[in-house]
Structures are given as C-alpha cells and as structure tokens.
C-alpha cells in the first residue's frame, strides 16, 4: 500500500522564516526527522526532492502469505482431505446454483414465447374478422 504524506504548512513556514543560507539545511533536517519517524514505524521510505513543500512517500510492506509445508502426519492428511471435500461441496453448490439460474431463465423465456404466440394468434384472428367485414361491406355496398 502506498501512502504519501505532505508536510504541514506550519513546518514549511518555519523553514521559510529562517535565513536563506540555513533554509536548505532546515529542509534537510526536517526531511531527516520525518525519515527517522518513519523508520521507527518499520516502513520503506522513498524521498522526493523538496520544491515548495517537502514530500515524503511512505510504502508499507504487505506481509507475504505463509507457504504450506508438506508434512506426512495423519493430521495434515485429514486437514488436506477436509479442504478437498469442502472445495468439492462448494463446487457442487455453485453448479446447482448455475443450474437453477438456467432453469429460471429457460422458464421465463418459455413464458415470454407463449405470450408472443398468443398475441400473434389474437392479431391474426382480429385481422381475419376485419377482412370478413370488408368482404361483406363490399357485397352490400
């Protein structure tokens, strides 16, 4: 994780209030104090050269995951088997969830297609009735 801390304006004003000849030394002292504070916290420090403000970048080390050792004990074997069983169960649960999801989607699609077919048949019957009426009107009128 990378976090950058900016030195407060008060500390910059203190540095500016000193004489011009001691200004670079004060900035170096300020940065050195910040570096010492960070070193006490056991963090990796990257120094950025000061311009108008002194900037110190602090990089925190992330702990590395522990590497599993292969052991020949029955306890370790039982633990490994239980982990495999747990993964297998999770795999089955995920497969079941996907299956149920697919079933629900198929059921919804089937209902939508049934509704569309019903609408098409109603439209066809209404159009047929209109044609009948037109034919009757043409003979009578």
Three-state SS sequence of 43-103: CEEEEECCCCCCEEEEECCCCCCCCCCCCCCHHHHHHHHHHHHHHHHHHHHHHHHHHHHHH
User: What total number of domains does the chain contain?
Assistant: 1
Q: Is residue 67 part of a domain?
A: no
Q: Is residue 87 part of a domain?
A: no
Q: Is residue 44 part of a domain?
A: yes
* Helix/strand/coil for 41: coil
Q: What's the pLDDT tens digit per position in 92-131?
A: 999 999 999 999 999 999 999 999 999 999 999 999 999 9
Structural domain for 13, as ranges: 2-59
Q: What's the pLDDT tens digit per position in 33-53?
A: 777 776 666 555 455 555 555
Cα(66)–Cα(62) distance, rounded to whole angstroms?
12
Q: Helix 9-17 and helix 23-40: axis angle, to 10°? A: 150
Q: Is residue 10 part of a domain?
A: yes
For 109, phi and psi rounded to 5 degrees? Answer: -65, -40
pTM (2 decimals)?
0.39
pLDDT at 74: 87
Q: Is residue 55 part of a domain?
A: yes
Residues 6+ apart with CB under 8 A from 42: 61
pLDDT at 23: 54
Q: Is residue 19 part of a domain?
A: yes
């Amino acid at each position: 994780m990378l976090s950058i801390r900016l030195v407060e304006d008060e500390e910059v004003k203190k540095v500016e209030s000193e004489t011009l000849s001691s200004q670079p030394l004060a900035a170096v002292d300020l940065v050195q104090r910040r570096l010492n504070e960070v070193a006490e916290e056991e963090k990796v420090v990257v120094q950025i050269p000061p311009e108008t403000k002194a900037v110190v970048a602090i990089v925190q080390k992330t702990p590395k995951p522990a590497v599993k050792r292969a052991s020949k004990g029955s306890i370790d074997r039982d633990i490994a088997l239980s982990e495999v069983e747990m993964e297998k169960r999770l795999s089955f649960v995920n497969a079941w969830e996907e299956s149920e999801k697919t079933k629900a989607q198929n059921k919804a699609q089937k209902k939508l297609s049934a509704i569309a077919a019903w609408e098409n048949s109603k439209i066809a019957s209404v159009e047929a009735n209109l044609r009948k009426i037109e034919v009757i009107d043409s003979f009578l009128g």
